[in-house]
Amino acid sequence: MSGLQASEDRVRERLEKYLSRDENGIRKIVLNLFITGDKFTTGDVYKHLEQESCDVSYRGVSAMVGLMNTRLGILSINVTGDHNIYSLKDDYKPVVQAILTHTAQ
């Protein structure tokens, strides 16, 4: 097994476990947002969730995005400006897309 494949398998396992505890679907909404390939601040994610009529706090969204970055390792972060800017790492887009497709069924 290649190093990349082993890494993808670990991410897949962590992501499946993470989404199994997604009682209200918010985590899936956020991952679908990141799958678009754009870059987002915590504020952007929070506004998107509000538009989706999700009952969230800014602090909760900040914690969720931070966890996706540190625990799951699927986000890259740019900390050079006033706000952290997050995006989904290109290497993990296929894995995330496959899991979201699988869990939607």
Could you state, in chain order, the average pLDDT of each consecutive group of 10 residues for the chain (105 residues)?
A: 73 92 94 93 96 95 93 91 91 92 74
Q: What is the pLDDT of residue 86?
A: 96
Q: Which residue has the tokens 């989904």?
A: 88
Q: What is the pLDDT of residue 41?
A: 95
Q: What is the pLDDT of residue 3?
A: 64
Q: What is the pLDDT of residue 82?
A: 87
Q: What is the pLDDT of residue 95?
A: 92
Report helix angle 26-35 to 58-67, nearest 10. Answer: 60
Q: What is the pLDDT of residue 102?
A: 83
